[in-house]
Amino acid sequence: MNDISAAAVASESGLTLSGQLAVHAVTTRYDAIPQAARDAAKLFMLDTLAVSWVGSDAPGCREAHGLLVDEGGRADSTAWVYGGRLPAASAAFINGMSASALDYDSIGRGAAVHINIAVLPAALAIAQKQHASGRDFLSALVIGSDLVYRLGVAAERPNRGFHYTATLGVFGAAAAAARLLGFDAGATQHALGIAFFQAAGTQQANIQPSLCKRMLSAFAARSGVYSALLAQRGITAPSEVIEGKFGFYSLYQAGDPNRLLDELGRRFDGVNVSIKKYPSCGCNHTTIEAVLKLIRQYDLKPDDVQSVEVTVTPYIERIVGGAYDPSHDPQVAAQFNLRYTVACLLVRRKLGLAEIQPDAARDPTIAAHIPKVSLKVDAEQTGNRGPVVVRMRTKTHGEISCRVKDVRGGTDDPFTPAEIDEKFDECFRRGVRPLNAEQIAALTKRVREVETLPDMAAFFDGIC
């Protein structure tokens, strides 16, 4: 659109918010997307695939895949790890679920939303169904991811309890799918409108750990695909689904339209995402870093620590501050409890894939240290993942403390390429169909060169 952003053109046309987003989704050229945004999309695509591989045999995923296979349907899109093809909406669902299962996927910085586990499954499912080029797929992925982040960062705080990955991810998934289906702005706006009618999901699954938690992104991915397919058949939707009297901002969470549209088409916010180092809720990560720093600095042993006080933000306390109960779903309980997190670190000095398995979640040695951990809420702080302050009373060193402002992975504290590669390699070698070194290298190469691929339907050929 030359030198005028899509947002400016849409605004001058008097379009609604969803109308402006629709114009952006279908008119933004591939060449207008900065290289940094394309590179980030490929990195997070690789991360999402990796965590999907290791999450594929987590409780609930095999069962969900079995249901989808039993239902059958047209073989449109690959079930990434399991192999074989399913209808596009079904593929989006199982791929979104396995990518979310271990809570090891990338997280937004400044927006409490997991973008890639909702948008990538939808975009890749439709790209395969449509035999889209890698260039068209990458454009749709960047645009859908940018939209979800914008909706998340524009949302007012405090969060009312809706799960942003589910309620916002569906819009990005629908936008990506609509672009890949070749929609004009009008049809895309209907797809976004239909997506609103399927936007659902709450944080109740966080504070009462259950397998539903790992299905939130799956519902968003599937609904985004389904919304676009319905719009393709001529189904219509209201035009003010974001700002209307009974739209998203009124019923779900108020938001700032100016922030949503700020530099739309010029700045792509999907880059503002961090890879996760630990398979645990992002609300735990600042505490993990603080505790590990103290353990390493003072070579702490579990019995040397008398008490641990963690000062957290209200949001962190809400999501991971509850009582620890691994009796029903031990893996989810371990991922979403700060007390378990600290006790586990004291005993095992790490928090990796082994530490969220049921045997660890129910380990009496770890459980013995959970009563030492208390939380203190700093009501003045509004962050989703920090800052936190960890204060320990120890027998040998007295009182020691550490403050961590935010999760790692940003420009101020990036992960090294070696750390990222180590995570990916470990993840791809696990799951229901582990990959060998040759397969990992081939998949990595395809992701990094995805814009050169002529047909995304063949993306997984020879791999799964």
pLDDT band at 3, cuts 50/70/90? very low
Rg of the chain in Å (alpha carbons): 22
Which of 165, 425, 428 is CA-nearest to residue 282?
165
Predicted local confidence at residue 4, as pLDDT: 42
CB distance 192 to 148 below 8 Å: no
Each residue's pLDDT tens digit, 174-201 = 999 999 999 999 999 999 999 999 999 9
Each residue's pLDDT tens digit, 368-380 = 999 999 999 999 9
The residue type of 125 is: A
Domains in the chain, CATH or no CATH each: 6-277+426-458 (1.10.4100.10), 282-404 (3.30.1330.120)
Average pLDDT, the chain: 94
**What DSSP designation does 215 have?**
G
Predicted local confidence at residue 411, as pLDDT: 66
pLDDT band at 243, cuts 50/70/90? very high
Question: 8 exposed, middle or buried (CB, 10 Å; 0-12, 13-18, 19+)?
Answer: middle
How many Cβ atoms are within 10 Å of 156's Cβ, its own excluded?
A: 12
pLDDT band at 207, cuts 50/70/90? confident
Average pLDDT over residues 322-336: 93
- Range from 79-88, 104-113, 280-289 carrying the lowest mean pLDDT: 104-113
Q: What is the pTM of this model?
A: 0.93
Instruction: Say if residue 11's pLDDT is above 60.
Output: no
CB distance 164 to 2 below 8 Å: no
CB distance 264 to 6 below 8 Å: yes
- Range from 30-39, 109-118, 163-172, 335-344 carrying the lowest mean pLDDT: 109-118
CB distance 375 to 315 below 8 Å: no
CB distance 103 to 279 below 8 Å: yes
- Range from 177-191, 199-213, 247-261, 266-280 carrying the lowest mean pLDDT: 199-213
pLDDT band at 459, cuts 50/70/90? very high
What are the DSSP E strand ranges found in 201-348? 273-274, 305-312
Higher pLDDT, 240 or 383: 240
Higher pLDDT, 439 or 411: 439
Q: What is the DSSP string of 340-401?
A: HHHHHHHHHS--SGGGGSHHHHT-HHHHTTGGGEEEEE-TT---SS--EEEEEEETTTEEEE
Instruction: Say if residue 248's pLDDT is above 70.
Output: yes
